[in-house]
Chain A
Amino acid sequence: MDLEKLRSIFIDEAMEQASVFEEGLLQIEKSPQDKELLNTIFRSIHTIKGASGTLGFTDISRFTHVMEELLDLMRQERLAVERETIDVLLRATDLIKEMIEAVASGSDFDSTKCEGLVTEMEELKRLQTKRTYRVLFRPGPDLFRRGLDPLVILDGLREIGEVTMRADTDAVPPLSEMDPEELYLRWEMELKTERDPAEIEKVFEFAMDGGDVKIIPVEASEEEVPLLGQLLVEEGVVGPEDVEKALKSQKRVGEILVKQGKVSPKDIEKVVEKQSQRKVESLKKSISSTIRVDLKKLDHLVNIVGEMVIIHSMLQQAVQGNDNGDSERTDAVLSQLQRIGKDIQESVMSLRMLPVGEVFNRFTRLVRELSSSKNKRIELVITGEDTELDKGVLEKITDPLVHLIRNAIDHGIETAEERTSRGKPPHGTIRLSAYQMGDSVFIDVEDDGRGLDKERILNKAVQKGIVESPSGLTDDQIYNLIFMPGFSTAEKVTDISGRGVGMDVVKRNIEALNGRVFIRVRPGEGTTVSIKLPLTLAIIDGLTVLIGGEVFVIPISSVIESLRPGRENVKTLNERDEVIGVRGEFIPLIRLYEELGVTPRKRDPWKAIVVLVSHEDKRCCLLVDDLIGEQQIVIKSLGTALPKVRGIGGGTILGDGRVALVLDVPGIIERTMRRVIR
């Protein structure tokens, strides 16, 4: 394997691990006791460290090493899982991502950027590190005579950490031999403290003479109670060989129980089997149940399967042509083949589907940071993260969602005081939910803020010349004004939103995915923005039409209706531009054959068909020869080697295996409008 390949694998994996790490951090803040989660987080940073080390990205490996140390301390419970620590680690994650991106783009990363965070992390490590020490305190027998009280010393220890102690009375002689002025006691203590050994020693400063203080750091793994045998050997009571012998003669719990007649050997066997099964299962769980596949390979598979479906329909046509008497059986086999073909196609398409949680979970962090920067308390509640969307759709939905969430934080949710005065809970809630309904996936961004201000929207719209007069609009129409280009109600421009490129961009991006945006306002109680998306990006509904003997496809999402106008409804403006009267409204006519440069079969609109299409708020009539029908199509590129063709957005493969061209309706309308205005 060459280095380039390794590098790209590294980039993929490291990015993924960094996301796992980030998500884990956000979760661990909510459940600091979750040991397993902490381990996952640790593993992900460890993986990045290991991989970057192997490939010689020393900046990354050095930096992740510091993070790893910090996490290791958290794992050992020597460092508390606290907001500040997590903040630092989150910022460190950003830096790691930056470094990985630098590797990806081959640019240089300024490693001095790390220094600040490294110092902060080292500081955290130093300050908050709680270690456990075993302190053995054997004061000299003359301690009392020197005017010292061991209790004071021990209290001093309590001041610097948590102590559990045990007094060793072994050396206390029988009462008759005891000298009351002599100290016979020894102490063994476990001390949990942030101080270092030198500071602990200071507590014993005056007791050192004639006595002995040992401060032994305890490693985390040793913190568990040592095995009995080990202790005995340590104390010199028995030798290691004795312990071993004893261990060998020791019986297992099962055996003892059998001997006591409480269970039968068969029961034990069964349970043991179950136990081993569980071990296997837990092992299986630790091995990931997913594999990583290059998207290109998937797309290739999608193509091949699509082709197979087409060939099936060709086969069907061919077979129907020559009736050889056994058509019933052929039909049965064919329909079986069709069913399997459809199954394969569906499952292949589902391979491109990803749970929306991949994107949603990123927003936890966004909300966390933006809300604290705005001094608002906002909780993000995510539901339906298992809902699946096409990878292509999912990628393009991220930015619009960020925008909607930012809007909710910035404009929607009020400050805590304002909320309390309105009788709402002081912390706001943003609900991000995804669900599937029919062929569409809905994503709702719902806040419990103040809702939209109708008056202000209207005033703004009039002021910006978006509407002429404030009267005569329904509430819905008013709310939808915020999707108009150049509209922004924020009274002051903040770093979060209100830059004037707002909801119109959101709307455009969603519409580019053949989706739609809806807004619901409950005045004083909140706003919900719903995004409706098609399940897959690649498949759309198309209206097939004929122009000059060739089949063209118009995406249904832009079609309003199709009609054959009466001769009297076709008018000319300025002896040049044609319009068609549709229910009292005059709509520009585009002769598609002219636009495309083909020879039509029909030139008179009243003999042909016009398809009324819209793009944003502009409407046009497209003149076509004839309608064929509706069908689902997969839009494909016409190939990079072909120059861009005016009015054509791509191609698709029809059921008979031929290629049909898909019309670029927005492009056609916009070009015509410009021409008309000129």
Chain B
Amino acid sequence: MTERSLVKETEDTTGEEQQYVTFSLNDEEYAVAARNVREIIELTNITKVPQLTEHFRGVINLRGTIVPVVDLKLKFGMRSDGYRKHACIIVTEFSGGIMGLIVDAVSDVIQIPEESIAAPPSLGSRIRTDFVRGMGRVGGDLVIVLDVERVLSDDEFAAVEEAEPFKDT
């Protein structure tokens, strides 16, 4: 059982080829390290949880465990017009726990050698650069490699502040 594998991937994998799960958000291709991915499931019934920021869609039942889900497009401030036919949830693990990411479609599981990941561009990207580990070159295409840890940890804090507008002193 090696599914628990949340380690800071930036440090101990240099030089190694790593597996990534690629997926699409609107017309862009993204990738997350496969070691952060626990499983990929179909879009299922989501129960709304009040008070949270919009991109927190709610919680789902993952075989008896309740897992919160985030709409990545909303999180990244992208245009979102309902879920598409192939939309699914990538269940990821990070240091803060388990989180589901709603994406438009999962494309592939690929190897991206560390040396083909270039530093993130400082300009021109729609999403915050600190979420991006780099730009991966796969064949002739470019994928945006996300740092799951940063994407999700950011949410943790942002949402906590958001969730306590009620100050009772």
Contacts and interface: CB of A to CB of B under 8 A. Distances in A.
B51 A639 contact: no
Interface string A618-644: 000000000000000000111111111
A671 B166 contact: yes
B50 A659 contact: no
Contact of B47 (A303, A660, A671): A660
B63 A646 contact: no
Nearest to B163: A643
Given A638-B66, A638-B68, A661-B47, A643 B52 contact: yes
A639 B98 contact: yes
A639 B168 contact: no
Given A597-B51, A643-B156, A645-B52, A638 B64 contact: no
Contacts of A583: none
Interface in A591-606: 596-598
Contact of B64 (A647, A653, A660, A671): A653
Contacts of B77: none
Which of B47, B64, B163 counts the most A-chain CB atoms under 10 A from its CB?
B64
B68 A675 contact: no
Interface in A639-670: 639-648, 651, 653, 657-661
Contacts of B162: 643
Contacts of B63: 303-304, 307
B47 A304 contact: no
A550 B67 CA distance: 17
B2 interface: no
B168 A671 contact: yes
Contact of A645 (B66, B152, B163): B163
Mostly, the B contact residues are mixed
B160 interface: yes
B65 A303 contact: yes
A658 B168 contact: no
A515 interface: no
Given A550-B47, A643-B162, A645-B51, A304 B64 contact: yes
| Size bracket of the B interface | 20 to 34
A659 B64 CA distance: 9
B47 A651 contact: yes
Nearest to B48: A550
Interface in B148-169: 152, 155-156, 159-160, 162-164, 166, 168
B166 A646 contact: yes
Contacts of B99: 639, 641
B61 interface: yes
Contacts of A651: 47, 59, 66
B60 interface: yes
B64 A646 contact: no
A306 B47 contact: no
Given A638-B59, A640-B96, A674-B168, A648 B64 contact: no
A675 to B, nearest CB: 7
Interface in B62-109: 63-68, 94, 96-99
A648 B49 contact: yes
Which of B51, B98, B163 counts the most A-chain CB atoms under 10 A from its CB?
B51
A659 B48 CA distance: 9
B61 A646 contact: no
Contacts of B160: 643-644
Contact of A307 (B64, B98, B164): B64
B68 A642 contact: yes
Interface string A305-317: 0110010000000
Interface string B36-48: 0000000001011
| Size bracket of the A interface | 20 to 34
A306 B64 CA distance: 7
Given A638-B49, A639-B59, A659-B47, A644 B66 contact: no
Nearest to B51: A597
Nearest to B166: A646
B152 A641 contact: yes
Interface string A540-557: 000000000010000000
A553 to B, nearest CB: 11
A508 B162 CA distance: 31
A550 B48 CA distance: 8
A116 to B, nearest CB: 45
Contacts of B45: 657-659
Interface string A95-125: 0000000000000000000000000000000
A661 B59 CA distance: 9
B75 to A, nearest CB: 13
A495 to B, nearest CB: 38
Contacts of B155: 641
A649 B128 CA distance: 33
B68 A659 contact: no
A321 to B, nearest CB: 17
A414 B70 CA distance: 63
Nearest to B93: A641
Contacts of B152: 641
Nearest to A675: B168
Contacts of A310: 61, 64
Contact of B50 (A639, A644, A645): A645
B61 A642 contact: no
B97 A596 contact: no
B163 A598 contact: no
Which of A310, A641, A657 counts the most B-chain CB atoms under 10 A from its CB?
A641
Given A637-B66, A659-B66, A642 B168 contact: no
Interface in B88-143: 94, 96-99
Contacts of B64: 303-304, 306-307, 310, 636, 653
A674 to B, nearest CB: 6
Contacts of B164: 646
B155 to A, nearest CB: 8
Given A638-B68, A639-B98, A651-B66, A658 B163 contact: no
Contact of A641 (B58, B96, B163, B168): B96
Contact of B98 (A304, A641, A646, A657): A641
Contacts of A645: 49-52, 163
Contacts of A643: 52, 156, 159-160, 162-163
14 contacts: A596-B51, A598-B48, A636-B66, A638-B66, A639-B99, A640-B98, A641-B97, A645-B51, A646-B166, A659-B45, A659-B58, A659-B59, A660-B47, A674-B168
Given A644-B163, A645-B51, 4 more contacts: A636-B65, A646-B163, A658-B47, A658-B61
Which 6 residue pairs are nearest across A and B when measured between Cβ atoms? A640-B97, A303-B64, A641-B97, A642-B68, A307-B64, A659-B47
